[in-house]
Copies of this chain bind each other. A is one copy, B any other.
């Protein structure tokens, strides 16, 4: 009965175009499987694009938001969970996801990858920069997948979640 939840993480502001595109395609794929797309829920960057990809393809979307200020909510959000915890909600993002897909890196995303390790979540890094890949592969060799693009990430999602 319980639905599979896939977390999509990445920069809010300053996301690269390729990260946004990966996020959109991953959201679209998640929707095609009737899974739930979970992000940080704001109307910016990777968060927003993954929700858009899911929503435009009839997926169910869930956001765990740093504040309850509606102006910051993504318009592609079905279910806003409000925390008023600012960055403290990053832990909830990963704890509530069955698996995590990372599209680009910034400090918030870095905290999410780090916090996903203790609860033993698999983490798929799409085309991150070299230093991040080396660092996280050393930090959690059994949990980290590094892939080139969203197509490879989708293959891993299929394998891990079926």
Name A residues whose Cβ lies closer than 8 Å to a Cβ of B: 1-3, 5, 36, 55, 62, 64, 68, 73, 75-88, 90-92, 95-96, 105-108, 110-111, 114-115, 117-119, 129, 131-132, 134-135, 138-140
Closest residue to A140 on the B side, CB-wise? B107
Q: Which residue of B73, B118, B132 is within 8 Å of A108 (Cβ)? A: B118
Complex contact A83–B79 (CB within 8 A): no
Complex contact A81–B96 (CB within 8 A): yes
Chain B residues, CB < 8 A from A91: 84-88, 90-91, 111
Bound-state CA distance A117–B105 (Å) is: 13
Count of this chain's copies in the oligomeric assembly: 4
The list of the 5 closest CB pairs from A to B, nearest first, reads A107-B117, A111-B114, A135-B135, A110-B114, A84-B86
Min Cβ gap A29→B in Å is: 19
Complex contact A84–B95 (CB within 8 A): yes
Complex contact B1–A77 (CB within 8 A): yes
Known: A83-B92, A84-B88, A135-B135. 9 other contacts (CB 8 A): A5-B80, A64-B81, A79-B79, A80-B96, A84-B86, A86-B91, A87-B91, A105-B139, A107-B139
Complex contact B95–A82 (CB within 8 A): yes
CB-CB under 8 A for A110 and B108, given A2-B80, A81-B64: no
Q: Which residue of B55, B64, B111 is within 8 Å of A1 (Cβ)? A: B55
Bound-state CA distance A115–B110 (Å) is: 8
Q: Which residue of B55, B83, B107, B139 is within 8 Å of A118 (Cβ)? A: B107
